[in-house]
Amino acid sequence: MSDSNYESYKPMKGKNALSPKVGNRGVKPEAISRATVKVPVVLAETVVQLDLNPKIDFPEPVLEIKNIKKNLKITQCRLLLPTNKLFIAGFVRKNIQYATPTHGSKDAVVSNIRSLTIDVPFKAVTEIDYIRKPKFEFGPESREFTFFTKSDLPDGFSSKEHLLSADLSQYDQYSGEEYNQLPYCEILSSRFIQYDESLDRKMGRVYDENHECIDAPFEEGTFTKIEEKMVVEVKIKVLQEQQVNIGSRDRKC
């Protein structure tokens, strides 16, 4: 584009990005009044308490912990039918932000902010109280049966006699299977209560990221190990798909 074109160039005016208001009308959905539907049914809703006591090692000296973020991850939540025992497994994802000293003096310490992400695993079994019992059927009892046979006898027996017995040349059985709906879980909420305590902190001893002792105010100290006591409360809903009759009943005035 030449200089004269630049001087004469005028940018296009932008159009209004808002969409114009339009009308609409409500539509009554088509639905049947009575039906048998297959829907998730709540079997139980419970709060499970998990007690964890992990020990955590840091890759470098820690002056202080700045923040800890936690997320609950469930890898297994299985109701063992026909009992009411709920098996739970998973882990707590922890992201720990902490200060690691780099250099210091008798009056101050300069630190870098680092983070450590770890998974704290857990397993637990608990008994739940049913709001509604699960639909569960055993398979039919396995039964054996056979058929009567009449066979000729070998030499040494009267020709008028025969061997009367069950047919051993075949195996007959009555059996079957019932295909139940497997219950499943939903997590509704989680709560964390924790207490962290250093195991190797000594006042007056401060180490930098290279594990070398540096100057620092007398009350400061670093550590590399902590012990954590944590209580996790998780609210779980247990469901199973069942057939339910829905619809209004006729009422007489």
Q: Is residue 229 part of a domain?
A: yes
pLDDT the model gives residue 225: 95
pLDDT the model gives residue 253: 44
What is the DSSP code (8-state) at residue 169? Answer: T
Q: Is residue 2 part of a domain?
A: no
pLDDT the model gives residue 4: 60
**Residues 196, 67: Cα–Cα separation, whole Å:** 12
pTM over 0.85: no
Low-confidence ranges of the chain (pLDDT < 50): 253
Q: Is residue 232 part of a domain?
A: yes
Beta strands in 53-108 (DSSP E): 55-62, 64-80, 85-104
**Residues 206, 2: Cα–Cα separation, whole Å:** 67
pLDDT the model gives residue 160: 74
Residue 159, by phi and psi: left (phi above 0), alpha (psi -120 to 50) or beta?
Answer: alpha
Structural domain of residue 127, as residue ranges? 35-132+181-244
pLDDT the model gives residue 61: 94
pLDDT the model gives residue 229: 95
Q: Is residue 106 part of a domain?
A: yes
Q: Is residue 27 part of a domain?
A: no
Beta bridge pairs of residue 194: 230
Segment 169-175 long-range contacts (CB within 8 Å, at least 24 positions apart): 170/146, 171/144, 172/144, 172/145, 172/146, 172/147, 173/142, 173/143, 173/144, 173/145, 174/140, 174/142, 174/143, 174/144, 174/145, 175/139, 175/140, 175/142, 175/143
End-to-end CA distance of the chain: 86
Q: Is residue 127 part of a domain?
A: yes
**Residues 123, 100: Cα–Cα separation, whole Å:** 33
Overall number of domains in the chain: 1
Question: Which amino acid belongs to residue 252?
Answer: K
